[in-house]
Chain A
Amino acid sequence: GAVVSQHPSWVICKSGTSVKIECRSLDFQATTMFWYRQFPKQSLMLMATSNEGSKATYEQGVEKDKFLINHASLTLSTLTVTSAHPEDSSFYICSARDPDRNEQYFGPGTRLTVT
């Protein structure tokens, strides 16, 4: 099946700094990518939907200025957590939609810990 990668797989940063997470579709061109956040023992919450070449659509309650999403190419989307705080610590998962197969594939996730 199609592969979606995320980098880094885990990151620790200090409070107040910014951290960037990359999501890549390795063997297909993803017109749409999704970013999810997962708290311990909870479900995935959709944060935003990004379409290549246009602004991301954020879900209600997600701060656009804090979670910057860029989908500059058909194989890469990035999520930047700006001015991170300990409450931003979470597991972030991206997924990419393959338009040819009309399927959504998930990345392995990134564990963010803000100290």
Chain B
Amino acid sequence: AQSVAQPEDQVNVAEGNPLTVKCTYSVSGNPYLFWYVQYPNRGLQFLLKYITGDNLVKGSYGFEAEFNKSQTSFHLKKPSALVSDSALYFCAVRPSGGYQKVTFGTGTKLQVIP
């Protein structure tokens, strides 16, 4: 069975500082990996995904994530955090090959402090 772990319930970072939101996964075969952001009472917004190719994936709003196969990780990063980045972030995974169910992590609340 596939799974996603987001070890931090909350991450606090000062505005302007770099941020990292951690994600590790477990899946059979090659993974498709995703990051989504959710603002209060809103649905999920897609940030970025890794399918194949370069391990460093760039996404929306200046976010990027690095796929590390040996560590089975897909950490989300941003060089300089904004207050408006404060939200709930979900990492997700599904196996490659056809379309299969997406499994979400438990989410990490990012709080950017002015």
Contacts and interface: CB of A to CB of B under 8 A. Distances in A.
A93 B42 CA distance: 9
A111 interface: yes
Interface in A6-43: 6, 32, 41-43
Contact of A1 (B41, B43, B46, B90): B46
B42 A43 contact: no
Q: Classify the interface of chain B: helix, strand, loop or mixed.
A: loop
Q: Classify the interface of chain A: helix, strand, loop or mixed.
A: strand
Interface residues of B, number: 16
Contact of A93 (B43, B102, B105, B107): B43
A44 B101 CA distance: 12
B101 A93 contact: no
Interface residues on A, range: 20 to 34
Contact of A43 (B46, B99, B106): B106
B25 interface: no
Contacts of A46: 101-102
Nearest to A94: B43
Interface in B97-114: 99, 101-102, 104-107, 109
Given A4-B43, A46-B102, A106-B44, 18 more contacts: A1-B46, A32-B99, A41-B107, A41-B109, A42-B106, A43-B90, A43-B104, A43-B106, A43-B107, A46-B101, A104-B102, A105-B46, A106-B36, A106-B45, A107-B43, A108-B42, A109-B42, A109-B43
Contact of A106 (B43, B105, B107): B43
Contacts of B46: 1, 105-106
Nearest to B90: A43
A49 B45 CA distance: 20
A110 to B, nearest CB: 9
25 contacts: A1-B46, A4-B43, A32-B99, A41-B107, A41-B109, A42-B106, A42-B107, A43-B106, A44-B90, A44-B104, A46-B101, A46-B102, A93-B43, A95-B44, A97-B99, A104-B102, A105-B46, A106-B43, A106-B44, A106-B45, A106-B46, A107-B43, A109-B41, A109-B42, A111-B41
